Structure 1
Amino acid sequence: MANISVRGLEPETLSKLKALAKKENISVNALVLRLLDRSVGLTQEKPLYPRHEDLSELAGVWSQQEAEEFEANTACFRNIDPEQW
């Protein structure tokens, strides 16, 4: 692999690169390589924070049977005791 030097890098740019590398828990070199690959189209850019439309991917998904069992087992909680209100 070849090596390159970057001259004239603004301090603010370096600071942001370091912060982003720290946030992603990678070295600045690894971050710069990733950014270069993306910028020339060698890899597809992935969002830093993927958008979630719901929590199913994070919390899991119930099958129809599991959902029906849950509804049956929690049906008693729908009854309201008027004396407690």
Structure 2
Amino acid sequence: MASLSVRGVDDDLAKALKRRAKESDKSVNQIVVEILRKAVGLEKEKKFTEVHTDLDHLFGLWSEEEFNEIQGEIDAGRRIDKELWR
């Protein structure tokens, strides 16, 4: 495994890297390697890693009839009119 030295790191960048390392309980080196891997396309950034609960209070409120009506509208909107695509 190779080692690299990075020169010209200003104070703001160094502080930001240290802050991110502390927040994620990793070393600054680990953070820099992760950033570099993502920047050159060797590692894709994870999406949708947060769990959202802001709509949980709505869970289970629709009756089956309401669900079927809404789902029918959604399905109708997804149908492709083949005549339009000729």
Asked if Structure 1 and Structure 2 have the same fold, meaning a TM-score greater than 0.5 normalized by the shorter chain, the answer is yes
Which TM bucket (shorter chain)? 0.5 to 0.7
| Cα deviations by residue, 1:10-52 (Å, 9 ceiling, x for unpaired) | 0110000000000000000001001110111111112596252
Q: CA RMSD in A?
A: 2.8
- Give the secondary-structure state (helix, strand or coil) at the position aligned to 1:26: coil
Distance 1:12 1:51 in 2: 31
Secondary structure at the counterpart of residue 52 of structure 1: coil
CA distance in structure 2 between the aligned counterparts of 1:39 and 1:48, rounded to whole angstroms: 19
For the residue of structure 1 that corresponds to 2:3, the secondary structure is coil
User: Normalization by structure 2: what TM-score?
Assistant: 0.56
After TM superposition, the runs of 4+ consecutive aligned structure 1 residues lying more than 6 A away are none
Q: Percent identity?
A: 41
Residue in 1 aligned with 2:25?
A: 25
Q: What number of residue pairs does the alignment pair up?
A: 58
Could you list the runs of 5+ residues in structure 1 that have no partner in the other structure?
Answer: 57-85
Question: What one-letter code is carried by the residue in structure 2 that aligns with 1:13?
Answer: L
Scaled by the length of structure 1, the TM-score of the pair is 0.57
Gaps of 5+ in 2: 57-86
Q: Which amino acid aligns with 1:37?
A: R
Query: Given residue 20 of structure 2, which amino acid in structure 1 is its aligned partner?
Result: L
1:23 partner letter? E
